[in-house]
C-alpha cells in the first residue's frame, strides 16, 4: 500500500522536512526547559503528531489507484455517420469526442483506455498524445480534389516549372488548370473519375516570390477549388562542376549533358589507361591537372566522383579533398557501387543496410519506377534525407564542416531519358545535386519539413549556421527561441506559429541575407490535399505505434481535513495540558 502513496509537493520535500525537524527540536527544548517534567513524554508524542500533521498538509499526500478505463470515439473531418452509429450500437457508454481546436485532448483522453478515430485523422503535432492508449483508426472516404502534389518550391528563371499530382473525383471529366500570378492559363489537363495522375508545365520568365494558381473546374467550367502555388523564383545559379571517372559510364554521359544544358560549367576527366586521361570541357575554358589539391579545388562547387576514383586517390589528394570540403564547402557526390555500400570509408562515413528490393517508386515521383541497388541508407541523427520510398532512405548526405558528401542507391537513372521522361530525370538530379553544391554563403542554411502550412499551425524549422549564438526573428521583429542540437552544435531548431497568410519570412538577427521565405495558406486552401496527408500520416503512425491498455492510473489526493482535525486535536490538548496538571 505504501508504494501507492505519492506527494504532490514532492519538489519541496527537503525544505518541508527540514522545517518540521526544526519545529520538533524547538518542541523538545521548550518542553524540557519549562521546569515541568510531569507529562513530558506525552507532550512530546502529542507535539510530534501535530508537527507530522502540518508536514503532511504541506506535502499533500495522494494515492495512486487503477480502474477500468472507458472506450471512446474521436470524430474528425470527413467521418462516416454510419461508422459512428455502428460503434454506438456495439459499445455501451461510448464516449464521443469531437476533434476541434477547442478540444483539450490531454484532458479528454485521460479516462480512456481505447479510442477509435473516424475521418481524416488528427494533426501530426497531436499524434503523440495517443501513445498511452489503444487506438483504432478508421479512415473516411478519400476527399474529392487534388490529394497528391509535387512541385519545386524554389526554382531558377528559365527553368521548366513542372507540377505533378493525383486527382480524385467521383465525377467524370473535371479539369485542372495551371495559371500564372495574373490569372492567365498556362497549361491544363482533363482528369477522369477515380484517381487520375496529371502533369502541368510552363517556363519561368520572371524572378521574385510569386503565387501561381492551380484551379479545378467541373465539366461546365465552374470552379471547384482555386488553390495557391507559392514559388520563389531566383536568378539562375551557375555551378562549377568537376567529374572524375575511373572509366566512362552511361550514367556520367547523360548526367554531364544535363549539367551542360542547364548552363553549368563542367570539367570531366575519365581514365583511359594507367596514367592517361581524357578531358572534356563543357561551358568552360580548358585546364589540366595532375592530382587533386585544396587550391586546385577552390574554384569548384561540386565534385562528382565514382568510388574507384575516390578509393585510388593518393594520400595527399585525399587530404586536399577533405580540407576543400571541410574548410571551403566543396560538395561531393559519390557514384557508388556495391563495394562502396558494403564498406564506406570516406568522410564522413555513410552507412547502409541490405535491402532485397531492386525497384522503387519515390515519394516525390509516385508515377515513376526506378531501379536501385540492393541497399538502403542506415538511419542516423546526422543524415540529411533527399529521397525516400515509404520509410526507406534512397538519397541522402552528411555534412562535414561547411561542405557535404552524399550519394544515392538509385541506379541507371538515364533510363528515364530513354523512356521519354526528361522532366523526371532533370528534377531527380536537381534534387540530388542542389543540396550538395557549395553554399553561396557560409553563414546559414534553413530547412522546413511540414507542408502545406496553414494559419496558426506550428512551423518547425532547422537552422544550420556557423554562428555561436544565432538570434532569429520573424518579419515583425519578434524573437523566436532556438534549441541547439547536442550532437551537431551548428544545428538549431525552432518553432513559430504564423498568424497571417501569404509570404512570411524568418531572418537571422543582424544579417539581411540569411532569410527563410515560406508561404502560409488560408485555412480553406488545399483542404483535400491536407486531409489526405493527414489520413496517410495517421495510418502510418498508428500502424507503427500500437498500444494496448486495459486500466488507467488515477492520482487521488487524500482529504486534508483529516490532518487538519488531527492537528487541532493535538494542539488543543497541548494548550489544555498545563491547566490539567497545575501544581498544588
Cα–Cα distances in angstroms (integers) from residue 182 to residues 200, 301, 380, in the given order: 17, 37, 45
pLDDT over threshold 80, residue 465: yes
Specify the pLDDT at position 487.
79
Grid coordinates of 390: 515509404
Q: How confident is the model at residue 322 (pLDDT cuts 50, 70, 90)?
A: very high
Task: List Cβ neighbours of 511 (8 Å cut-off, separation of 6 or more).
Answer: 443, 444
Q: Among 7-16, 61-70, 303-312, 336-345, which range has the highest average pLDDT?
A: 303-312
Specify the pLDDT at position 410.
94
**Beta carbons of 418 and 247 less than 8 angstroms apart:** no
Phi, psi torsion values for 148, nearest 5 degrees: -135, 140
Specify the pLDDT at position 38.
65
When the pLDDT of each residue in the chain is averaged and rounded to a whole number, the result is 85
Specify the pLDDT at position 581.
57
* Residue 536: Cβ within 10 Å count: 15
pLDDT digits (tens, 9 = 90+) for 88-145: 888 888 888 998 767 888 878 877 888 899 999 998 888 888 888 888 899 988 888 9
Specify the pLDDT at position 584.
44
Specify the pLDDT at position 389.
86
> Which residue has better confidence, 410 or 125?
410
Specify the pLDDT at position 319.
92
For 320-338, letters b (16+ CB in 10 Å) and e give bbbbbbbebbbbbbbbbee
Specify the pLDDT at position 547.
60
pLDDT over threshold 60, residue 583: no
> Which residue has better confidence, 451 or 475?
475
Q: In terms of Cα–Cα distance, which of 113, 116, 112 is closest to 137?
A: 116
Q: How far apart are CA 530 and CA 535, in angstroms?
A: 9
Q: What is the CA radius of gyration of the chain?
A: 34
Helices 40-59/13-32 angle, 10° precision: 160
Arithmetic mean of pLDDT, 82-87: 89
pLDDT over threshold 60, residue 71: yes
Q: How far apart are CA 339 and CA 120, in angstroms?
A: 45
Cis check: omega of the bond before 452, within 30 degrees of 0: yes
Global pTM?
A: 0.68
Amino acid at each position: 500500500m505504501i508504494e501507492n502513496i505519492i506527494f504532490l509537493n514532492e519538489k519541496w520535500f527537503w525544505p518541508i522536512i527540514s522545517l518540521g525537524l526544526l519545529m520538533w527540536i524547538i518542541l523538545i527544548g521548550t518542553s524540557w526547559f519549562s521546569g515541568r517534567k510531569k507529562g513530558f513524554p506525552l507532550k512530546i508524542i502529542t507535539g510530534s503528531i501535530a508537527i507530522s500533521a502540518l508536514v503532511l498538509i504541506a506535502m499533500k499526500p495522494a494515492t495512486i489507484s487503477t480502474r477500468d478505463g472507458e472506450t471512446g470515439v474521436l470524430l474528425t473531418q470527413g467521418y462516416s455517420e454510419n461508422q459512428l452509429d455502428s460503434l454506438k450500437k456495439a459499445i455501451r457508454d461510448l464516449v464521443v469526442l469531437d476533434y476541434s481546436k477547442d478540444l483539450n485532448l490531454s484532458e479528454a483522453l485521460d479516462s480512456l483506455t481505447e479510442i477509435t478515430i473516424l475521418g481524416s485523422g488528427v494533426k501530426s503535432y497531436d499524434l503523440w498524445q495517443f501513445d498511452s492508449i489503444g487506438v483504432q483508426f478508421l479512415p473516411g472516404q478519400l476527399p474529392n480534389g487534388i490529394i497528391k502534389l509535387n512541385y519545386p518550391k524554389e526554382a531558377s528563371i528559365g527553368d521548366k516549372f513542372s507540377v505533378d499530382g493525383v486527382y480524385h473525383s467521383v465525377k467524370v471529366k473535371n479539369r485542372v488548370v495551371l495559371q500564372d500570378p495574373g490569372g492567365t492559363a498556362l497549361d491544363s489537363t482533363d482528369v477522369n473519375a477515380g484517381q487520375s495522375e496529371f502533369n502541368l508545365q510552363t517556363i519561368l520568365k520572371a524572378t521574385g516570390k510569386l503565387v501561381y494558381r492551380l484551379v479545378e473546374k467541373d465539366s461546365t467550367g465552374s470552379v471547384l477549388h482555386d488553390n495557391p502555388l507559392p514559388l520563389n523564383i531566383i536568378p539562375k545559379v551557375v555551378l562549377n562542376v568537376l567529374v572524375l571517372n575511373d572509366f566512362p559510364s552511361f550514367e556520367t554521359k547523360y548526367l554531364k549533358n544535363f549539367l551542360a544544358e542547364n548552363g553549368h560549367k563542367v570539367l570531366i576527366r575519365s581514365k583511359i589507361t594507367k596514367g592517361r586521361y581524357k578531358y572534356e570541357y563543357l561551358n568552360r575554358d580548358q585546364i589540366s591537372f595532375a592530382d587533386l589539391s585544396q587550391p586546385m579545388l577552390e574554384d569548384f562547387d561540386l565534385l562528382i566522383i565514382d568510388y574507384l576514383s575516390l578509393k585510388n586517390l593518393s594520400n595527399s589528394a585525399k587530404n586536399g579533398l577533405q580540407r576543400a570540403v571541410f574548410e571551403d564547402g566543396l560538395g561531393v557526390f559519390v557514384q557508388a557501387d556495391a563495394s562502396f555500400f558494403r564498406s564506406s570509408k570516406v568522410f564522413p562515413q555513410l552507412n547502409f543496410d541490405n535491402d532485397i528490393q531492386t525497384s522503387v517508386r519515390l515519394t516525390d515521383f509516385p508515377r515513376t519506377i526506378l531501379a536501385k541497388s540492393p541497399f538502403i541508407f542506415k538511419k542516423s541523427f546526422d543524415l540529411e534525407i533527399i529521397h525516400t520510398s515509404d520509410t526507406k532512405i534512397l538519397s541522402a548526405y552528411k555534412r562535414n564542416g561547411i561542405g557535404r558528401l552524399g550519394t544515392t542507391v538509385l541506379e541507371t537513372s538515364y533510363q528515364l531519358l530513354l523512356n521519354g521522361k526528361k522532366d523526371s530525370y532533370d528534377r531527380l538530379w536537381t534534387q540530388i545535386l542542389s543540396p550538395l553544391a557549395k553554399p553561396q554563403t557560409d553563414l546559414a542554411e534553413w530547412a522546413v519539413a511540414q507542408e502545406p502550412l496553414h494559419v496558426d499551425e506550428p512551423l518547425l524549422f532547422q537552422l544550420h549556421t556557423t554562428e555561436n549564438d544565432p538570434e532569429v526573428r520573424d518579419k515583425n521583429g519578434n524573437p523566436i527561441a532556438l534549441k541547439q542540437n547536442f550532437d551537431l552544435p551548428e544545428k538549431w531548431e525552432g518553432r513559430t506559429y504564423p498568424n497571417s497568410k501569404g509570404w512570411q519570412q524568418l531572418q537571422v538577427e543582424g544579417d539581411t541575407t540569411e532569410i527563410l521565405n515560406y508561404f502560409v495558406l488560408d485555412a480553406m486552401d488545399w483542404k483535400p490535399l491536407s486531409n489526405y496527408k493527414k489520413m496517410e500520416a495517421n495510418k502510418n503512425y498508428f500502424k507503427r505505434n500500437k498500444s494496448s491498455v486495459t486500466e488507467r492510473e488515477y492520482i487521488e489526493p487524500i482529504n486534508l481535513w483529516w490532518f487538519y482535525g488531527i492537528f487541532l486535536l493535538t494542539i488543543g490538548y497541548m494548550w489544555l495540558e498545563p491547566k490539567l496538571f497545575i501544581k498544588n
